[in-house]
Structure 1
Amino acid sequence: MSCLPKGNQTVISWFLLLGLPIPPERQHLFYALFLAMYLTTVLGNLLIIILIQLDSHLHTPMYSLLSNLSFSDLCFSSVTMPKLLQNMQSQDPSIPYAGCLAQMYFFLLFGDLESFLLVAMAYDRYVAICFPLRYTSIMSPKLCVGLVVLSWVLTTFHAMLHTLLMARLSFCDNNVIPHFFCDMSALLKLSCSDTHVNELVIFITGGLILVIPFVLIVVSYARIVSSILKVPSARGIRKAFSTCGSHLSVVSLFYGTVIGLYLCSSGNPSTVKESVMAITYTMVTPMLNPFIYSLRNRDMKRALGRVICKKKMMV
C-alpha cells in the first residue's frame, strides 16, 4: 500500500527508488562491485580511526580531525549503500515515507559534516606551514574540539531544517524517485505542494554550507602558497607537499564531484552521467579517502607498523 487518503487527496506513504540504470543481466556484477566498495570503505575508515586511537604519536589536532573525517565518510557511505544493495537483490525497492526523510537527513548531515571538517583541516595545515613555531599554541586541543563541535552543530541544524521543511510538503500522485537514494531535489520535484520556501532555503544555505567552506579552503591554500614563495626552497616545497598533499587530494575529489553533480547537472537525475557522478560522490570518495591518507602519509604507515609489532609481541 503506497498511498493513504486525506480529504480529497491521496497522500503517499511509500516511495519507490528507481535505482541505477543497470541492465538486468549485469545486476549481479555491479552488486558484487558495490558490495566490495562498501566493505572497503567501512574497513578502511575503521582502520584509520582505530590506528589514531591506539597510537599516541597520532594524538594531534590533524589526526583528530582526520579521525572525525573517517567517521563521517563511514557514516555517509552507510546512509545510501546498504539500501542500494538491498534494492538490487529485492523485487520491491520501496522505502517508507519516514525512512526516506531519515535517509535525506543523514545524507545532508554527513555530507555537510565532511565539508566543514575539510575546512578545519585546511586551517590546521595553514597554521602548520605559515606559523610552525606557534602551531601547538594556536591549534590547541580546546580549539580542535571546538571546531569539531561547531561542525556538528551547524550540520545538524542545516540537515534538520531541510528535513522539517520537506516534512511539511504533500506527495500526492507520483511516488517514483528516479535515483538510488532519497535525494532532496528529486523529492521536491515529486511534491504537489508549493516548494518555493524550500527552494529559497536551499539557495541561501547552499552558499553557507558549500560555497563559503570551499572559498575558505582556497584562501587557506593561497596563503600557504604565498608563504612558500616568500622563501622558496626545494625542502620547503617538499615539506608543504607532504603536509598538504593528502588533504588537497581529498578536497579536489570531494568538491569536484559535488560541483559536477549539483552545479553542472542537466536537471535530470536519471541520466547516466549524473548517476556516475552520484556514485562517485557517495561511494568512491569515501572509499578512496583512507587510501589517500594511508598511502601518502608516513605517520599512518609507521603507526600501522607499531600496532602490528605490539600485537606480535603480545602473542
Structure 2
Amino acid sequence: MNARGQAALVIQVPSEPQSVSFVATYLGDGSAKASSSSPDAVLITPTGSTVALSVPQTNVLRVPTTLVATITPASAGGTVTFSVGNVVVGSQAVAKGQASVEWTPQGAGAFTVSASYSGDRGTPRGTATNQVVVVAETRADSITVDPVGAAGAWVPGGSVTFMNGTSMALATSSTSNMPVQLAESGPCMLAGNRLTARSGSGSCTVTALTRSGNGFSGAANTYRVLLTPGWQTARLAAPASGVVNRGAVVKLGKPNLRTTAGQLVTWKVTAGKAQCAVVFTSDGTAKLKARKRGPCNIRATAPGVDGQWNRYAVYRAYVIR
C-alpha cells in the first residue's frame, strides 16, 4: 500500500469468457482495523466493444435529423455522448444496443459527427465518427399516389369517385425517395396502403405526407374521395343463359336468398310465361320449371338501400327445347 492508502494488483485476464468477482481485504495495522470491500464483478468477453454511428450524409439547415449509435455487444450498458465538431449535442443511455439523439444543424458546411461510448462493466469504451454535409437550401418534394389498376395517378387537390364496397391498393412514391405516409379521414378504411369505401354517400379525405430529407423539404397532398352507392351481389344457383331441356327443373337460389347488403332476392318470369315458371319447394328453394319449347326470360331482383346500395337485378335468357 502506498502513502495515499492505495494498492494495485496486476492479474492475467482469463482466456475464456466468464464473470470474475474481486474482493479487496485489508489486514489492518496499529492505526486501522481490518476490513473487506464489497464484491465487484467484471465480465470477461471474447471481444471488446464496437461503436457504429449512423447519420445521413447530407443534411439540411435547421431540419432535424437523428444520430444513432449501435453498441456491440447489445447487452452493454453505459451512455453515448454525441458531438458535432467540438460541440456536444446530447447524451443518451444505451438500451438494447442503441442510443440516439436528435440534431438540428444550425450552419451549412462539412462537419465531423462523433459518438463516444462511456463503456460499462466488462465492456470497454469506444468512439465512432462520420463526415457529413449540411446544405442551406432544400428542394420541394413531389408525391405521387397511383391506384393499382386505375387509369392514372391522382391529381393533388382533386377528387375521385369510389362506390360503396370498392377496395383499391394505392402505390406511392416521392421525388426525394423519402417514405410516403398515408392518412384517411371520413367513412373509409385505410389498412396499410389499401383504401376501402365503407359508405355510399359523403366523402373521405386521403392525405399523403413525406418528411424532410435527402435535400428535400417535406410535402403534403390531399385527395377527396366522393362516395356513391355500390352494387349488391348474391350467390345465385341459376345457370348462365342458354338452352334448358323441356321438363327440366333447374335450381335458381337457396331459400330466403339475400344479397351482400342483406336484401331479400325475388324471382320473376319476364317473358315466356307459357314456356316456364318459377316454383318454390317446401323449404323455399327457388326453381325454374321448363314447360314448353320456346324462349324463357327470368329476373332476380332485390331493393336498394337509400344512399348506400343500388337496386340489385340479374337477368337470364333461356331457350326451352
Q: TM-score range by the shorter chain?
A: under 0.3
- TM-score in terms of structure 1 length: 0.16
- TM-score in terms of structure 2 length: 0.16
Higher helix share: 1
Higher strand share: 2
